[in-house]
């Protein structure tokens, strides 16, 4: 059985106005993850993703780079309690 969990990441750097949320959503959907991504008022991006551990690791790794126009300086990561989501979306 595949271990499922949820992660919450805060991505810092030049991550707003560079298609970060849309690209994150695309990547998460590609890996079959569920959850959401949103901009924060302090110019960071928050990601909550749930699914198999291996796919979450892929997304977490991708967040350190992001889309071509992004300049990621930091990604914080924490595992959180499982949440049910129907899909992955931008909020």
Q: Which amino acids are annotated catalytic?
A: 21, 39
Contacts of 33 (CB under 8 A, 6+ apart): 49, 50, 51, 55, 56, 59, 88
**Interatomic CA distance for residues 51 and 18, integer angstroms:** 26
Q: Which residues contact 61 (CB under 8 A, 6 or more apart)?
A: none
Q: How far apart are CA 71 and CA 79, in angstroms?
A: 24
């Amino acid at each position: 059985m595949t271990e499922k969990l949820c992660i919450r990441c805060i991505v810092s750097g030049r991550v707003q106005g560079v298609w970060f949320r849309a690209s994150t959503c695309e990547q998460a959907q590609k890996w079959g993850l569920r959850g959401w991504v949103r901009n924060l008022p302090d110019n960071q991006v928050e990601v909550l993703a749930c699914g198999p551990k291996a796919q979450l690791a892929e997304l977490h790794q991708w967040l350190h780079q992001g889309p071509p126009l992004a300049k990621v300086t930091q990604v914080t990561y924490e595992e959180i309690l499982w949440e049910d989501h129907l899909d992955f979306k931008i909020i």
